[in-house]
Amino acid sequence: MNAETGFAPNVLAAECPSRAVLKHLTSQWGVLVMLALQDGTLRFSALRRRVGGVSERMLAQTLQALEGDGLVRRVAHPVVPPHVEYSLTPLGVEAAARVGALTGWIEANLDLIQAARAEA
């Protein structure tokens, strides 16, 4: 039972707050950002290079959402030009490992998935 909401978390229930976390974590960019940060702390520009195809705007929005969920830590250093670093929180490390298992399964079965798509 969740103390704030008064009910047990159930991601299948439309009103469950876990749905927002699921949306942030499993979005196209959320998954890739989590995987990219598994190797350690990165600055915004390095993270953008690491996650191919993401725009600055989408990366910023994704990082804000993941930070809001307590999965990513943002540290701004008081220098000019601005120096901001992103890393996974302990909760983020755990989530990234689980997302990594899913992406590992996808990569291991990609041939079968693509064959199924071709047949559809």
Domains of the chain (ranges, CATH numbers): 18-119 (1.10.10.10)
> What would the mean pLDDT of 85-106 be, rounded to a whole number?
97
> Could you read off the pLDDT of 97-119 as tens digits, one per residue?
999 999 999 999 999 999 999 99
Q: What band does 81 get if pLDDT is binned at 50, 70 and 90?
A: confident
> Could you read off the pLDDT of 16-25 as tens digits, one per residue?
888 889 999 8
> Could you read off the pLDDT of 49-67 as tens digits, one per residue?
999 999 999 999 999 999 9
Q: Are 22 and 66 in contact (CB under 8 A)?
A: no
- pTM of the predicted structure, to 2 decimals: 0.86
User: What per-residue confidence (pLDDT) applies to 9?
Assistant: 78
pLDDT beyond 90 at 6: no
When mean pLDDT is compared across 19-28, 35-44, 57-66, 86-95, the lowest value belongs to 19-28
